[in-house]
Amino acid sequence: MSDNLSLERLRMEISEIQHERDALLKRVADLEGFVAQSKALENDLSDRIAIANQKELEVEELLNATHSILEQADFSVTAKRIFDACARTIGARAGYVALLSDDGSENELLFLEDGGMPCTVNPELPMPIRGLREQAYRTGKVAYDNEFMKSEWVKFMPKGHMALRNVLFSPLNIEGKTVGIMGMACKDGDFNDHDARLAAAFGEYAAIALMNSWNIEKLKDSNDLLGKTNNTKDKILSIISHDLITPLNSIAGLSDVIYTNVDEGKMEDIKHLSGVISRSAKHNHQLLFDLLQWSRAQSGEIAFNPTQIVVNDLFSELNEALSPQANSKNVTLDFQKNDETVYGDKSMLVTVLKNLISNAVKFSFENSSVNIRFETTDSDSVFIVRDFGVGMDITKVEEILHSDKVSSVPGTSKERGTGFGHMIIREFLEMHKGSLQIDSEAGKGSEFKIVLPKKAK
Which pLDDT tens digit goes with each residue over 274-316? 776 776 676 566 656 666 766 666 666 677 889 999 999 999 9
Q: What is the mean pLDDT of the chain?
A: 81
Confidence of residue 457 (pLDDT cuts 50, 70, 90): very low
Is 130's pLDDT higher than 70? Answer: yes
Task: Determine if the pTM surpasses 0.75.
Answer: no
Number of domains within the chain: 1
Most confident listed range (28-37, 195-204, 416-425): 195-204
Q: Is residue 158 part of a domain?
A: no
As a whole-number percent, the residues of the chain with pLDDT over 90 amount to: 28
CA 225 vs CA 216, 220, 231, 298, 395: distances in Å: 14, 8, 10, 9, 28
Q: Is residue 352 part of a domain?
A: yes
List beta partners, residue 447. 386, 439
Q: What is the pLDDT of residue 350?
A: 86
Residues 323 and 332 sit within 8 Å (Cβ to Cβ): no
List beta partners, residue 106. 128
Q: What is the CATH number of the domain that holds 368?
A: 3.30.565.10
Q: Which of 338-352, 393-407, 437-451 has the lowest mean pLDDT?
A: 393-407
Q: Is residue 14 part of a domain?
A: no
Q: Which domain holds residue 361?
A: 302-457
Q: Is residue 264 part of a domain?
A: no
Q: Is residue 156 part of a domain?
A: no
H-helix or E-strand spanning residue 113:
strand 106-113
What are the φ and ψ backbone dihedral angles of 63, each rounded to 5 degrees? -65, -40
d(CA 348, CA 360): 18
Q: What angle (nearest 5°) sits at the alpha carbon of residue 263, between those of residues 261 and 269?
A: 20
Q: Is residue 376 part of a domain?
A: yes
Q: Is residue 409 part of a domain?
A: yes
Is 456's pLDDT higher than 50? Answer: no
d(CA 258, CA 261): 5
For 366: left if phi > 0, alpha if psi spans -120 to 50, otherwise beta; the answer is: beta
Q: Is residue 357 part of a domain?
A: yes
